[in-house]
Amino acid sequence: MSLKPNHTYEPSRAVLYTVRVLSALTVALGAVCFVPMKDGVLPVAILYGLIPLYLLCNALPFILYRTIPKPFGGKRSFFSPSHSRYTLRSCAHGVEMLHIFLLATGISVVYHLIRLPLLWTGRWVDLLISAAIAIGVLAVVFWNGMVCLYVFSVQLGIRWRVIGALCGLIPVAQLIALRRIMKVVDAEVDVECTRILRNNARREERVCATKYPILLVHGVFFRDFKALNYWGRIPDDLAANGATIFYGHQHSAAAVADCGAELAQRIREIVAETGCEKVNVIAHSKGGLDMRYALQNYGIAPMVASLTTVNTPHKGCIFVDFMLKTFSDPVKDKIADTYNKAAKKLGDPNPDFMAAIRDLTATGCAALEPHLAGESNPEPLEGIYCRSVGSLMPRARGGRFPLNLAYPIVRFFDGPNDGLVSETSFSFGEKYTLLTPTGTRGISHGDMIDLNRENIEEFDVREFYVGLVEELKNRGL
């Protein structure tokens, strides 16, 4: 499932390296021009000619990367979690500017070392002025690149942005951090462009154009916001491959029965508004329980063609039982009250933190089982294709905060897990897929919905969902 970089969007390597070297020489010439100009070696006319060339060098990489592929489906909105063509060009531009900065800095340093004898000939002021001009000229190029990376890169995350800032004033460490940052963003551009090229190449196939639309159902403690998509970059890729997508819009935290009622109403609305007759549901985490309850109790089974549960705790979480027993009632009440107040401000009419938590316990799921459509209650699922997906982390470091902290606790009580849900709780339906890590990274509960918008080398989450939906299409759903 890993992505192989495809460089067909780039200028030819010969052109790229030629421009990089010539730009570096131009920048370096501007950075070291003071002493030669003072000595009369560099005429003022040439100096003035350097100014427009210097400005061109600061813009040329962005112009060169105009061939960055355009995602099918039009422009990305400002709030889209996926890269737009402009942001990819900006990232590529930033990396090139830093390459130019490093080359020009090397030339400038060598030049000033050669001119060190000026210190002993009484012209030390000239050398200091030259060094100051060089620093200023190079600083513009450096910040041109760094601002582009810090503003437009997704894969840098908070960690590398902080590391880059902290190492900025530490010799040697700053170069190591800079090279790492450049490598991360360069790989990011490669992966994103490769995905766009892949999607554009199969555009006519419409591999995700299912007979019935896709309904994405979120898990607990999140809502479906336009500005912050719960499913990350996944919907953009599904839509680029022909999928029609709707969202569940149920409460972020409420009892399974209440969320199930909301989802049943949502499905009726979609069917009534579009005339689609049925929907294909993909539900993550607690959303899978919400949908199973809706199917069993609210008469919407005829309107559902398929149900795919992703990392859903069908048998509950033992560690949650333990936590509820451990925390005192005042502490639980305080946490619940704080969450419910915040959730109301974010759009939940009647959030219920404790009801949601209780339904996620092993005890709560056991009590819910008679009310959930599934293996023990097969009748409501006749004619509905049901399948499930789960994933594992091999160690705590395999996930981002807070899953890296929860992992050892869940492992102690529940066994191998994704940071929240155990392997024994994933299975549901006629087809079960367990994603096991091939390296030390693992695939966490959050990775399965592209929560961190992270490109994982061993697992391309967007292509995985394209495969899930393509299977539904091939089944005539």
Paired with 281 in beta bridges are 215, 307
φ and ψ at 389, to 5 degrees?
-135, 140
Distance CA 179, CA 158 (A): 17
Closest among 290, 314, 316, 291 to 432, alpha carbons compared: 314
Out of 3.40.50.1820, 3.40.50.10950, 2.90.10.10, 3.20.130.10, the CATH code matching 206-474 is: 3.40.50.1820
Residue 160 has pLDDT above 70, yes or no: yes
Burial 35-61 (b: 16+ CB within 10 A, else e): bbeeeeebeeeeeeebeeebeebbebb
Question: Could you tell me which residue, 40 or 225, shows the higher pLDDT?
Answer: 225
Of 194-198, 316-320, 455-459, highest mean pLDDT: 316-320
Per-residue pLDDT tens over the stretch 35-73: 666 666 666 656 666 777 777 777 777 777 667 777 765
pLDDT band at residue 328 under the 50/70/90 scheme:
confident
Q: DSSP 3-state assignment of 390?
A: strand
Task: Say if CB 374 and CB 292 are below 8 A apart.
Answer: yes
Confidence (pTM): 0.85
Distance CA 246, CA 357 (A): 26
Per-residue pLDDT tens over the stretch 258-269: 999 999 999 999
Q: Two tokens at 446? A: 């959050």
Distance CA 138, CA 98 (A): 10
Distance CA 92, CA 185 (A): 8
Distance CA 173, CA 152 (A): 23
Of 20-34, 121-135, 197-211, highest mean pLDDT: 197-211
* Count of Cβ atoms closer than 10 Å to residue 330 Cβ: 8
Paired with 245 in beta bridges are 214
* Count of Cβ atoms closer than 10 Å to residue 138 Cβ: 21
Residue 353 has pLDDT above 80, yes or no: yes
Report the largest interatomic distance among the alpha carbons of the chain, rounded to a whole angstrom. Answer: 96
Distance CA 63, CA 56 (A): 10
Q: Two tokens at 174? A: 């700053």
Region class of 449: left (phi > 0), else alpha (psi between -120 and 50), else beta: alpha
How many Cα atoms within 13 Å fall on the side-chain side of residue 369? 14
pLDDT band at residue 224 under the 50/70/90 scheme:
confident
Q: Two tokens at 449? A: 């919905």
Residue 5 has pLDDT above 50, yes or no: no
Collect all residues with Cβ–Cβ distance below 8 Å to 139 and sequence separation of at least 6: none
Q: In the chain, list all ranges with CATH 3.40.50.1820.
A: 206-474
Distance CA 393, CA 403 (A): 10
The per-residue pLDDT for 218 is 95
pLDDT band at residue 257 under the 50/70/90 scheme:
very high
Distance CA 374, CA 133 (A): 73
List of E strands, 117-266: 214-217, 245-247
Type of residue found at 78: F
Per-residue pLDDT tens over the stretch 233-245: 999 999 999 999 9
The per-residue pLDDT for 4 is 42
The number of residues making up the chain comes to 477
Start-end of H helices in 285-423: 286-297, 318-326, 329-345, 353-358, 362-368, 403-414
Residue 280 has pLDDT above 90, yes or no: yes
Q: Two tokens at 277? A: 């007759």
Closest among 326, 291, 298, 299 to 428, alpha carbons compared: 291
User: Once rounded to an integer, what is the mean pLDDT over residues 255-283?
Assistant: 95
Distance CA 426, CA 142 (A): 49
Distance CA 48, CA 3 (A): 47
Collect all residues with Cβ–Cβ distance below 8 Å to 166 and sequence separation of at least 6: none
Instruction: Of 61-70, 285-294, 373-382, give the lowest mean pLDDT range.
Output: 61-70
Distance CA 458, CA 170 (A): 34
pLDDT band at residue 89 under the 50/70/90 scheme:
confident
